[in-house]
Structure 1
Amino acid sequence: MAPYMTKTAVYNWYASMVAAGCMVLYGYDASVFNATQGSKNWVNYFGNPTTTQIGTINSVYIVGNIVAGWFFSAPVSTYFGRRVAMAVGCALVVIATFVQTFAPRGHLGAFLGGRFIVGLGQGMALPVGPVYISEIARSEIRGKVLAFWQLFYSVGSFIAFWIAYATARHPELGEWDWKLIVIFQALCPAIIISLIFFLPESPRWYVQKGRIDDARAALRRFRDTEEEVETEILEMREAMEYEAQQTKGTSIWQVYKQLWVDKSLRWRMFLALVINAGQQLTGQGSLNSYSTVIYKKVFTSASTISLINALNATFGILFTLNAAWLVERIGRKWLLAGGAAGQAICMLIVALVGTLTPGGTSKSEPVGISIVFLLFLFILFYKPTWGATVWIWTSEVFSMNVRSYAVGAASQTQNVANIIVNQFFPQLIAAASFKSFFLFFGINIFLFFFVFFLVPETKGVRLEEMDTLFGGVNHINAGADILGAQSTFSGDIDKAAPAEHRENLHALNEVSEDKASQEKASNKV
């Protein structure tokens, strides 16, 4: 039986899928307003909001996301653990759901407040999910597991748009046609809260806190043999010993300073910021928030538009599955480059079809179907590449001492880019119609060349070895020198290493733990 089909590997997948549920929140929350603004009852309930107010409703959600992602998610995750950060984020989303659903009639500010709290919850939970997954997954399946992170975004969109389609088919619901869409966003976070504390905490977080026994117990639930556990524990300790010497303090400002001072980290941060911003600038961010507005230029039936959105989300799930089998075969770099090329072609053809066919803002049905097909084709390219692979690459390239902060900061550039696009896109699509897609064509061409020439491949590289890929110091070797022990990192050491090597690992860990126990006893005295 293959190693990845063992009992511990199945549990590894289960724990990863619970954490990936945070992305269901994101997919649902990012789609829910797109779905609700198609409801005439919602428009009437809040006094027919202007296009500027529509943009603000999308933007305030992203502002909350940025605030929590930059300033709260990483500190909470670092000091209290990955599970606590995810649970707090989910709890905020549940609270915000009821604030939005039961906002008083005509009080758009209350609805805006709920959207801001949703953003806070998302900003707290989202950066932590992929970090937790990357820290518990084996290196050979890490990309496959993380591919489901983006898949769950599509699951969230799927649920939101199909609920919207169902409510659009029942006009007798009245105002509850949009309230049902909103209130269902409390379901997934409630499930995550009920499950998350039954999972082990990240073994790497335990090691960082000096809780070696807890780290070993957690890792045993994800690895098959004691040899794997002991080797990985020792590598973590060696790497973190070096990282602790490099990071002068643990405050948020000191960690962010390290991201700027260290040349290797600074380069990784630059690459991560660009590709994360690029994820939303491909055109996906606007399609996800304003597909209803786009389709209104072609179709007049609200139920037809809801059906198209629901089908788009359904196919998004199927398309994202491609990442699970492609990411460890052709690698992260070529998925990103190929995706950008395919997306550019789709955006170019949409712009040409929309501008060169007769009808102005009222297209014929065949033209409308062609545009829908092209946007579905865009999703085929986007989901397994810039949708899934950006998260995979970002969550695995940073060392443990800065990982939560770096992933949180990098992922928030998605929201910075999104808030800019969401604010001006309603006016752009109203003024330029389908010519606005030429903008996304140009952005995707830029992203293709950026990835092709600058982004390195990370397929199969262990987390503790990632620094060497970017010209940095090998943290395992450097930490081993500090600990005064022989490093376990060697291209010649494999799973068939001599028994003496494994005994040395056990002996070294036992000595270290005995010393730690003696220090604790001394402190108590």
Structure 2
Amino acid sequence: MGLMTGKRAYNWYISLVAASCMVLYGYDTSVYNAVQGSKHWVAYFNKPNTQTIGAVNTAYTVGAIVAGFFFGGPVADYFGRQVGMAVGCVLVIIATLIQTFSPRGNIGCFIGGRVIIGLGQGLALTAGPIYIGELSPPEIRGTIMSFCYWVNYACSKHTRTLGEWDWKMAVIFQLLVPLVILAQLWAIPETPRWYIQHDNRIEAARASLYRVRDTDQEVEDEILVIREAIEFEKEAISSNYSALWKDKSVRKRLLLAFILNAGQQITGQGTLNTYSTIVYKKVFKDASQIALINALNATFGILFTLNATWTVDRFGRKFLFITGAIGMSICMLIVATAETQTPSPNGTKTVPVGISIVFLLFLFAFFYKPSWGATTWIWTSEVFSMNQFFPTFLNNCGFYAFYMFAGICGMLAAFVWFFVPETKKISLEEIDVLFGGSNHVEKGADLVGADDAHHARLESIAIDGDYKGGAQVREASTGTQGTTIVR
């Protein structure tokens, strides 16, 4: 790992700024889950039924899918990753104000805010992971998501004093994350790949890399590899979105990414993030007790997610996907059996059964967070969701719905075992090889005139008798003979 140098620390800093875009999703999910437990929110919007509650979440999903599919990529590619994150944050701020100050009884206005927040998150969630993948270490998220649940728990203990602000307080805190991101964006560089893709701005790409890499050799090697890959993509494939259907390896990767992300959504964790409040209402009656469970679950979720930082590269993505899916499947089977096959005196479960269900759902999160929760982000951003029909499903079928999640998790484990290749320690520019495509770096080396596809050659020179080397001896690999770096 090496020592924590100033540039490595800065590298982590810019990663956390970009990773905060992912927290936008987690916090929003937490907010909507939390407000469903507020009697004031239910009364404010005239006791919405299960279909309406599902429609509120569907509105967000529609906005996120539209932005993620049709606008996120083009905005991040044309205007830059920073602009994509910034525009997404601004939309989230606008949507938060709309939701907080929706007129009484006007659920349509609240739903409109959910659509806009989906659009904003679709843009930010597309740009953030791209930024991290091109410039920074793996992301860390979750702290502020759990903060929402603790805010909600605090509010649930003072509902009489706060009145309608018991839910508005949780919603308006959603302003915190996008404001923090916007305040930090000016301090982080654009990615070098974007600079080279746009008018071959080698010097700008070099300046960006020098802010996050420790040596000249690291910078020039990375510049060379990026140039080789981009040149090959232009010559042999395409520099635009037509590559999605022209290149067989890209088509295969896209299909696998869709299935993995759809799988992430239908494991049951996304549903629990949004609807755990109404799930726990079938087990517990006290609203503040449910809020406390949600807060603890979110806090433990942070610790569980951190497991990914040491397991992803040690055991590989495939191992985590399979182990996580099997563990989740077993947990769901036991949860469904414990709830459906035990008595419910006075309409709720006994304390031992309730504690068992909570423990098993926490254990489910233990398996989910470092595997399908964190590892799936390596493949692509979330685009699919089944959350819109879960409230009605739960209302009609109860905890038998969890048998479905158990079966889904088992099938996901089998799918990964047979179809998903391991991507551990493979660079973005060379990952096509795993899917039957060409090595963009090696193929592009001939196009840029490189002797060694992976290493630029630094040469020291003497000027006026003084040795000039290191950071002072470099020249952009802008010409066809891009491997000799001399200034």
Assess same fold via TM > 0.5.
yes
**What's the Cα RMSD here?**
2.1
Deviation at 1:243, TM superposition (A): 0.8
Residue 127 of structure 1 aligns to a residue whose secondary structure is: helix
Deviation at 1:241, TM superposition (A): 0.6
2:273 — aligned with what?
Answer: 288
TM-score (norm 2): 0.92
The structure whose residues are more often helix, as a share, is 1
1:249 and 1:458, CA in 2 relative to 1: closer, same or farther beyond 3 A? closer
Deviation at 1:465, TM superposition (A): 1.5
The count of aligned residue pairs is 469
Deviations 1:216-242 (A, max 9, x none): 000011111111111110111111011
Residue 327 of structure 1 aligns to a residue whose secondary structure is: helix
Is residue 350 of structure 1 aligned with residue 335 of structure 2? yes
1:456 and 1:499, CA in 2 relative to 1: closer, same or farther beyond 3 A? farther
1 CA distance for matches of 2:318 and 2:43? 47
Higher relative contact order (CA 8 A, sep 6+): 1
2:144 — aligned with what?
Answer: 156
Which of 190, 203, 210 does residue 220 from structure 1 map onto?
Answer: 210
Deviations 1:330-380 (A, max 9, x none): 111101111001001000100111111112852111111110100000000
Residue 3 of structure 1 aligns to a residue whose secondary structure is: coil
2:258 — aligned with what?
Answer: 273
Is residue 307 of structure 1 aligned with residue 292 of structure 2? yes
Contact 1:4 1:10 in 2 (8 A): no
Which of 352, 363, 369 does residue 349 from structure 2 map onto?
Answer: 363
2 CA distance for matches of 1:459 and 1:36? 40
Residue 31 of structure 1 aligns to a residue whose secondary structure is: helix
1 CA distance for matches of 2:3 and 2:122? 32
1:388 — aligned with what?
Answer: 374
Is residue 509 of structure 1 aligned with residue 474 of structure 2? no
Deviations 1:314-340 (A, max 9, x none): 000011010011111111110111100
Which of 222, 225, 229 does residue 232 from structure 1 map onto?
Answer: 222
Is residue 181 of structure 1 aligned with residue 170 of structure 2? yes
1 CA distance for matches of 2:87 and 2:262? 26
Deviations 1:146-176 (A, max 9, x none): 3x1xxx1x32320111111011100210011
2 CA distance for matches of 1:464 and 1:4? 27
2 CA distance for matches of 1:110 and 1:346? 38
Alignment of 1:459-478 (within 5 A): 459-478=424-443
Alignment of 1:4-83 (within 5 A): 5-83=4-82
2:326 — aligned with what?
Answer: 341
1:397 — aligned with what?
Answer: none
Structure 1 runs of 4+ off > 3 angstroms? 246-250, 497-500, 505-508, 510-514
Instruction: Give the fraction of aligned pairs with identical amino acids, expressed as a percent.
Output: 55
Residue 314 of structure 2 aligns to a residue whose secondary structure is: coil
Deviation at 1:7, TM superposition (A): 1.7
2:228 maps to a residue whose letter is E
Deviations 1:269-293 (A, max 9, x none): 1111111110011111111111011
For structure 1, list consecutive stretches of 5 or more residues without a partner in the other structure: 395-406, 515-525
Deviation at 1:484, TM superposition (A): 3.4
Residue 329 of structure 1 aligns to a residue whose secondary structure is: helix
Is residue 201 of structure 1 aligned with residue 169 of structure 2? no
1:175 and 1:507, CA in 2 relative to 1: closer, same or farther beyond 3 A? closer
TM-score (norm 1): 0.86
Contact 1:27 1:155 in 2 (8 A): no
Deviation at 1:431, TM superposition (A): 1.6
Deviation at 1:513, TM superposition (A): 10
1 CA distance for matches of 2:175 and 2:225? 40
